[in-house]
Amino acid sequence: MEPCLGRWIMTPMPGPALQIVKLNKSYSLPQGPLRVLENVELTAQSSEIVSIVGVSGCGKSTLLRLIGGLEEITEGTIFLGGVPVEGPGLERGMVFQESRLFPWFTVEENIAFGCRPELDASEKQKAVETHLRLVGLQGFEKAYPYQLSGGMQQRAAIARALVSRPQVLLLDEPFGALDALTRIQMQQEILRIWEAEKTTFLLVTHDIDEAVFLGDRVLVMSNRPGTFRKIVRVDLPRPRDRSSLGFIKIRKEIYDEFFAKLS
Amino acid sequence: MILGFSMGLSQRMERALVLLTGLLRPIPTIAWVPALILWMGIGESSKVTVIAVGSFWPVLLSAIQGVRSADPKYIEVARVLEKSTYTMIMKVIIPSALPSIFTGLRVGMGIAWASVVGAELIAASSGIGYMIMYAREVSQPDVMLVGVAAIGLTGLLIDFLLLKLQRRLLKWNPAWAGGS
């Protein structure tokens, strides 16, 4: 890492990077409160990848939005490096299902938009270059989002989320809108990026394969109110072989959580 | 345009002004012309005011519409990136309102140009409208037709210039950068 970036790199904190304690979330509807999340507990170590799988509407996206500070917590606390979160912040990067790149900015300007405000112009330039290279988009600095493929747009969005060097990267079904082949390619890319950055990744997905391929742990979320029903530790060395016995066994274990009643 | 932005951004602002704008909007620009001539004479200042009045409504409504249609997904991204309200408005809301504003500008320009010529027909000492009226009085249909053609050509030229500006400002938007 360039020495000039040193002053805004967070020193690794002792203890968990992210800790969620007794989190409840409900929306008040005319017919009474709708409980979305109930008693969610989660501890993520620094530079861990935690996958969260669940059916659509189980509240997994809401959980990420709560951690991101985009929604109000009903009850409970989310600690980030020991500090309770309040509102959005640059120490939590967020990647959505759609790239959400600003169409009026070039790739370069989009990534620069994610920079910490205290950086001066040359530091900003350097950070943008570093992250363009990190996601493999060099040569596309001046391109507008509409000129990029879906996978490349998502790479740019990841760079924008990482350029402020967050402690946690929240990925909300980031590859859900991509085709199957691009998705697998992006999963390998995200691992490479993680190995370079060693940020804590929190990945929400409905793709069991993806969850097992990437996660150190896979948390299975139950439906309405959402809570963690099962935690599966994935003790397989990376890069993981999707057709290995260990991989298939873990995949089946999670699969059975969803479809046991049918078979 | 600024009024449009503030009405689009703030519900309260819109509620306060909706009655006033609702009352003023249906008045055709031409209806203002006699009053404006009485106050400002038949010179340039009354024409400029006619342009302002004629282009005001389409620009206002399109600015409100543009700001309203700013995608909340982009606003969320700006929130995650801890952007100030000022940055949010300048870098997110206004750019996303720009396509709609340009539509309003082009409609407004058309109306403004039509109203100026209309004002000249009523009373003026120069201009294409004045030329047409003068030709009527001296029975020169050829001059009248040249006047009508000139109005059309000038309107086309104004629209062309606006389109060029739009292409430059909206080059990020494939649907607008090339299109008409």
Mean pLDDT, rounded, of chain B: 83
Q: Do A102 and B77 touch (CB under 8 A)?
A: yes
CA distance B113 to B133: 17
Domain termination residue (choose one: A100, A135, A165): A165
Residue to test with chain B: of A104, A108, A164, A167, most B Cβ within 10 A? A104
Measured in angstroms, the CA of B168 and the nearest CA of chain A are apart by: 12
Q: Tokens 């009903």 label which residue?
A: A74
- The Cα A247–Cα A251 span in angstroms is 6
Q: For A92, which residue in chain B has the nearest alpha carbon?
A: B80
A172/A164 Cα distance (integer angstroms): 18
Q: Is B71 helix (H, G, I), strand (E, B) or coil?
A: coil
Is A11 contained in some domain? no
The DSSP H or E segment spanning A172 is strand A168-172
Report the pLDDT averaged over residues A155-172: 92
Rounded mean pLDDT of B103-117? Answer: 86
Are A174 and A82 in a shared domain? yes
Confidence of residue B114 (pLDDT cuts 50, 70, 90): confident
Please give the tally of structural domains in chain A.
Answer: 2
H/E element, A158:
helix A150-162
Give yes or no: residues A82 and A173 share one domain: yes
Residue that terminates a domain, selected from A101, A130, A165: A165
Q: Are residues A80 and A172 in the same domain?
A: yes
B39 pLDDT band, cuts 50/70/90, is confident
Domain match, A55 and A182 both: yes
**B173 interaction partners in chain A (CB closer than 8 Å):** 103-104, 146
Q: Quick check: A138 and A35 in contact, CB under 8 A?
A: no
Percent of chain B residues topping a pLDDT of 90 = 9
> Does the distance separating the beta carbons of A146 and B96 come in below 8 Å?
no
| Residue finishing a domain among A134, A165, A196 | A165
pLDDT at position B178 is 53
Q: A57, A78 in Cβ contact below 8 A?
A: no
- Average pLDDT of span B88-117: 87
Residue A226: CA atoms inside 13 Å, Cβ hemisphere, count?
24
Q: Is A69 domain-assigned? A: yes
Q: Do A114 and B92 touch (CB under 8 A)?
A: no
Closest by Cα among A7, A162, A46 to B81: A162
Asked whether residue A158 falls in the same domain as residue A223, the answer is: no
Residues A196 and A83 in one domain: yes
d(CA A225, CA A57): 10
* Helix (H/G/I), strand (E/B), else coil: A195: helix
Which residue do the tokens 């990848």 mark? Answer: A49
Interface test with A, best of B69, B75, B76, B80 (most A CBs within 10 A): B80
Structural domain boundaries enclosing A143: 92-165
Q: How far apart are CA B174 and CA A9, in angstroms?
A: 38
Domain co-membership, A158 together with A172: no
- Asked if A57 and A24 sit in the same domain, the reply is yes
Tokens of B47: 């024409």
Percentage of chain A modeled with pLDDT above 90: 44
Residues of B in contact with A68 (CB under 8 A): 80
Assigned domain for A10 exists: no
| B73/A100 Cβ within 8 A | yes
Query: What are the residues facing A203 on neighbouring strands?
Result: A51, A171
Same domain, A147 and A104: yes
Residues in chain B closer than 8 A to A114 (CB atoms): 81
Looking at the structure, do residues A174 and A83 belong to the same domain, yes or no? Answer: yes
The model's pLDDT over A58-106, given as tens digits with 9 standing for 90+, comes to 888 899 999 999 999 889 889 888 888 888 988 899 999 999 999 999 9
CATH topology for the B2-177 domain: MetI-like fold (1.10.3720)
- Concatenated DSSP letters of A31-95: TEEEEEEEEEEEEE-TT-EEEEE--TTSSHHHHHHHHHTSS--SEEEEEETTEE--S--TTEEEE
Domain assignment of residue A40, yes or no: yes
Give the Å distances, CA to CA, from B27 to A48, A89, B14, B24, B54.
65, 49, 20, 6, 10
